[in-house]
Structure 1
Amino acid sequence: MSRPSRNYPAELRERAVRLVAEVRSDHPTEWAAICSVAGKLGIGTAETLRKWVRQAEVDAGTTPGTGTAESAELRRPRAEVRELKRANEILRAASIFFAAELDRPRRSS
């Protein structure tokens, strides 16, 4: 079973990424620096902090990849397309229902 996700404040994320950059030279590897900072700041896992560091590198343009702003721009239209597809399915089902009602023979009173 997976662990429940935690939402960390943006300030903590930024501070943690800065600290990793600052203490990187004090440790034999980047991973050791990440583990040290994650432990000191109470971040659930070092992997979480590693992802933040990688995303900060992408956002800064030092590493290729999709930036945070770009990701948000892509998510918005995708969510809109999902919603429109859902609305189309509802309308399709309603049109089938009403077409069946029109084809049904009427009873005379």
Structure 2
Amino acid sequence: MDNKVKQAKYSLEFKQDAAKLVMEKKYTCQQAADSLGGSLSAIRRWVSAEKGAISATGSEQTNLGLAEREELIRLRRERNNLLMEREILKKSAVFFAKENG
């Protein structure tokens, strides 16, 4: 029997709006989680991402906001696809060079 819990997918706008409830409307993370039906830990992560958290050592981290994080994920996927396409093109160029020469 599979006991995996499916993680809900939320849009970037939803995450930003949830973080704004806490940051601007002065909701507690618990109140935001209760009113939106999300998990408390997810709300905390989103708020932390929007604020830019400070590490336990006290030094500034280079945390990305939610929009930047989404863009970074998208750009990494695009980069991986481009690298794969480049490898395919290299192999095909070698193949056709051998075939013609």
Q: TM-score range by the shorter chain?
A: 0.5 to 0.7
Q: What is the CA-CA distance between 1:70 and the residue it aligns to? A: 5.0
Q: What is the CA-CA distance between 1:53 and the residue it aligns to? A: 1.0
Amino acid at match of 2:37: G
Which structure has more helix as a fraction of its residues? 1
Query: Equivalent of 1:86, from 56, 81, 84?
Result: 84
The higher-RCO structure (CA 8 Å, 6+ apart) is 2
Provide the residue aligned with 1:51 in structure 2.
45
Instruction: Give structure 1 stretches of 5+ with no counterpart.
Output: 24-32, 104-109
TM-score after normalising by structure 1: 0.54
Provide the residue aligned with 1:3 in structure 2.
6
Q: Where in structure 1 do 4 or more consecutive aligned residues deviate above 4 Å?
A: none
Q: Are the structure 2 counterparts of residues 95 and 52 from structure 1 closer, same or farther at C-alpha, using a change threshold of 3 Å?
A: same
Provide the residue aligned with 2:22 in structure 1.
20
**Structure 2 CA distance for aligned equivalents of residues 9 and 70 of structure 1:** 10
Instruction: Give structure 2 stretches of 5+ with no counterpart.
Output: 54-59
For these two proteins, the number of residue pairs brought into alignment is: 88
